[in-house]
């Protein structure tokens, strides 16, 4: 029987929302205080949802130890206490939480094969969150 399993993780990072394709004025109008040139930071909470049949022998969708190890090495190790704007994926892309959500989804999709990735959800603050379930996701 198929079940969905979700695990939450936290990391802290800084970013600045600024597009080289816009003028200084356009950037200020579009991103408001998020365009502050010195950047600012958030405590991000991410939720990784995987699915699959519950294994008869173990009662598990996948071993949490494997999921934790992957996320710690590939996601938290990459983003925690970093300036997102300096990372390769955000050289040409604005590090909005939408784009961060897609980047994290792609890393998990590419590298984690113990269960099917359903969705990545990120809370940037307690008041806003973003979800990405792949190009064909709901």
Partner 1 sequence: MVYLTRKAEFSAAHYYHNPEFTPDENQRVFGKCNNPNGHGHNYTLEVTVKGEVDPKSGFVVDLKQLKDVMSREVLDAFDHRFLNKEVPEFSTDVPTMIPTTENIAIAIWQRLAPKLKAAQLHRVRVYETPDLFVDFYGEA
Which residues are part of the catalytic machinery?
Answer: 34, 81, 124
Stretch that binds partner 1, among 5-13, 21-29, 77-85, 89-97 (CB under 8 A): 5-13
How far is Cα 127 from Cα 85, in angstroms, rounded to an integer? 23
Contact indicator for 101, 131 with CB cutoff of 8 Å: yes
Stretch that binds partner 1, among 13-21, 52-60, 70-78, 87-95 (CB under 8 A): 52-60
**Residues near 39 by beta carbon (within 8 Å), at least 6 away in sequence:** 14, 15, 16, 83, 85
Stretch that binds partner 1, among 1-9, 26-34, 94-102, 123-131 (CB under 8 A): 1-9
Site string for partner 1, 55-94 (x = CB under 8 A): --xxxxx-xxx-----------------------------
User: CA 51, 114, 64, 110: dihedral to nearest 10 degrees?
Assistant: -90
Contact between 126 and partner 1 by CB under 8 A: the answer reads no
Please list every residue from 6 through 45 that binds partner 1, using CB under 8 A: 6-9
Name the residues that contact partner 1, by CB under 8 A: 1-9, 49, 54, 57-61, 63-65
């Amino acid at each position: 029987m198929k079940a969905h399993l979700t695990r939450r993780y936290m990391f802290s990072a800084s970013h600045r929302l600024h597009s080289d394709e816009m003028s200084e004025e356009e950037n200020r109008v579009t991103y408001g205080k998020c365009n502050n040139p010195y950047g600012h930071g958030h405590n991000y909470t991410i939720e990784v949802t995987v699915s699959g049949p519950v294994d008869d022998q173990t009662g598990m969708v996948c071993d949490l130890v494997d999921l934790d190890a992957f996320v710690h090495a590939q996601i938290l190790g990459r983003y925690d206490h970093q300036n997102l704007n300096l990372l390769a994926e955000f050289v040409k892309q604005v590090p909005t939480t939408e784009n961060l959500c897609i980047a994290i989804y792609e890393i998990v999709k590419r590298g984690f094969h113990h269960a099917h990735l359903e969705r990545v959800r990120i809370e940037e603050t307690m008041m806003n969150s973003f979800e990405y379930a792949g190009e064909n996701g709901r």
